[in-house]
Amino acid sequence: MGWFAYSIWSSSSDSNQVIVKIPAGASFAEVLDTLTEAGLVSNSIAFRLLAVTTGSDGKIRPGTYKFTRGISNAALLNALVEGRSSVRMKVTFPEGSTIRRMAAILTREIGVDSAAFVRLANDRKFLEKIGINASTAEGYLMPDTYFLYWGEQPETVLARMSETFRAFYTDNLKKLAAAQGLTPYEAIILASIVEGEARTEGDRPIIAGLYLNRLRRGMKLEADPTIQYILPDGPRRLLYKDLEMDNPYNSYRYKGLPPTPINNPGRASITATLKPASHDYLYMVAKADGSGQHTFSRTGAEHEQAVKLYRKRVGTE
């Protein structure tokens, strides 16, 4: 049935305008059902005959299209084959998305080749072309809402997202990184950890300040999000054996920051890292009240009590 193969709605600006979505992998029969139910094809036999005789029945491109009712079969078919009349789709990437998660979102929403996206996002030569001087684009792709065409090329999407990041991460912000004793890249690495840890806006600058305190004291960060990043079956609840993995991203074993960002942090986490709260906290544990907030401590003894209270409330002690 046509409902399976398409989404259709009228444009608010003109009742004669129709937006039709043709998904990847749709058969010609499904496409024809879609167009007929949208009121764009009145004679399905004539449309099928035209498509078959011109060899266009197997060349229709997936996408989201806007057409005017009354369009001729020839014009409609040509537009579908050439990909014309396509409209942009709204694609949103949540803060803290990894490259792989972004690739999955792009595949689901606009049919982008996820493998090609991931490959290019880790291709140093390509990254240099779009202004990224690193081995990976992780951390350089701004989570935001973008309007993209169905089947958009991975190169185009990566360039757009990195451009949006650069527009935000200005020289003035990079100077703030230096004030915290960080390079611009290190600030993004730390911001990605803050993004992975924080669940509330109020906690972000406090968590950033806490990690900076640990770095300045030569302490290991012991940040769970760095472990989640390297788990082949994550994210999931961490086990003690996970903390023993010999991996440079394991902040329970290695001091300092991991080699690269562990996700693509949003504006709020980057800002919190560059403008952290000033305090003496060195430890934190999640509260057991479902608020997403943390209990912060200055000493190991205080932290042990906070952990004990957490375990008691969640019933693990």
- Report pLDDT digits (tens) over 76-126: 999 999 987 678 889 999 999 999 999 999 999 888 999 999 999 999 999
Band of pLDDT at residue 154, cut at 50, 70 and 90: very high
More confident residue, 1 or 122: 122
Across residues 139-168, what is the average pLDDT? 96
pLDDT at 14: 47
pLDDT band at 317 (very low <50, low <70, confident <90, very high): low
Fold of the 2-82 domain: Dna Ligase; domain 1 (3.30.1490)
pLDDT above 60 for 39: yes
- Residue 300, pLDDT score: 97
CA atoms within 13 A on the CB side of 212: 25
d(CA 86, CA 60): 12
pLDDT value for 127: 98
In the chain, list all ranges with CATH 3.30.1490.480. 2-82
Q: Do the Cβ atoms of 28 and 57 come closer than 8 Å?
A: yes
C-alpha to C-alpha distance for 131 and 164, rounded to whole angstroms: 12
187-207 pLDDT per residue, tens: 999 999 999 999 999 999 999
Q: Which CATH architecture has domain 89-168?
A: 2-Layer Sandwich (3.30)
Nearest to 116 by CA among 149, 154, 151: 154
| pLDDT score at 8 | 42
Predicted confidence (pLDDT) at residue 41 exceeds the cutoff of 70:
yes
